[in-house]
Structure 1
C-alpha cells in the first residue's frame, strides 16, 4: 500500500460519520477514490429509499479523498462547495460512490462524483456531484 493510500485509509477510519453509515473505503488510486455503502433501513427516508443525506455524504467523501491524492504534501482537504443531482431514487442493495479529480492546483481541486446503486446484477446511476475541494494545512 502506498503512503497516499495509507494516509487516506487512516483518515477514512477516523471519520465517525462514515463508520455510523457503515460505509467502506473500496479503492484509492491517483485522482480517484471509491466508497461503498450497503443498504440499511436505518439510512432510509419515508419512502424506503436511501436518504439523500447518506448518498451525499459518501460521494462528498469520495470527491474529497480523490482530491487528497493530488494535494501537495503536508496538506489536508475540506469541501468548499458542491452541487448534487439525484437522477433516480436510491434503491438497491449497495451503493458505490466514485470521486474523480478533473483539475487540481496548489489551493483547489475540482472533482466530479457519481453514485451507482446495485439492484440484482444491474448498476444504475442515482446521483451526480460536482465539488470544489480546498487544500488546507494539515
Structure 2
C-alpha cells in the first residue's frame, strides 16, 4: 500500500446553529486541512509513472478547495434570515453557503467528497479548528 499526504490552510468565520455555547456566536478559525490518499499500486505509465499521483496535482487540488473558503463567512443554508443574507451580500461580504452545519466533521467530509470527485483515492481527511483539535473523516469505512 502506498500513501501520500498534503495539507492546506484557510482562514474563515462561522457559527454553529442550534448550539448552546460560545460557538453559537460568530467566530473564526485558522483552519488546517490534511488529506491522505492511498492505493495498492503505483501508476504504470505517463508522467505519473511510479507515483500514487503527481504531488503537484494533489497539492494544487487541495489548495484550490481551501482557497474557496479562505477569508469567507461559512454559512449553513437557511440559518440566517434572508434579510440578513441580503445585508451581508450588499456589504460585499464573501460567503460560502453550505447545505450542512459547519462543524469540523462535516467540513472534513466535504473536502473528502470533493477530492474523491476529482479522482483522488482518499483514505482520510483531517480538519483542524485549532492546532490541537481536529475531526477526521474516513470515506471508505
TM-score (norm 2): 0.27
In terms of Rg, which structure is larger? 2
Task: Report which structure shows greater RCO (CA 8 Å, sep ≥6).
Answer: 2
